[in-house]
Amino acid sequence: MAGVLQFALTNLLMISAGVMLYLVVRALPRVGEDPAAARMNIFDRWRNSPLPEKIDAQMNAFLTKFLRRLKVWVMKFDNFITDRLKGMKSAPGGNAAIDFKEIANGENGNGNDSENASIKDG
């Protein structure tokens, strides 16, 4: 019995809230608008003008050109790196691996010879 009473009271509450909302919505068109509020500010005028669409078209054209050129540059760079790597793999002598310790230490074990020569001369 208590469950049915709670259900009925909840339904009555929701129906009365719906009726109040309906009455408020019907009364809204009767409220007059203030003519000062109808004035558009600079942001509203800019938003409704054709200027944003022109800016968007220019940006799309610029980005299309820029991204195509960037893609070509990246592809050229990729080809350059690939050629360099192929050259390292097929180096004469049959050793495909690069000995970085030998490059870092140099032939005399002290690093770069030109730096050592300039230090000794100076």
Query: Using CA atoms, how far apart are residues 14 and 16, in angstroms rounded to an integer?
Result: 6
Q: What is the pLDDT of residues 47-88, one digit of tens each?
A: 888 888 999 999 999 999 999 999 999 999 999 999 988 887
**Structure confidence at residue 22 (pLDDT):** 92
Query: Using CA atoms, how far apart are residues 117 and 122, in angstroms rounded to an integer?
Result: 9
Domain limits, the chain: 70-122
pTM of the model: 0.39
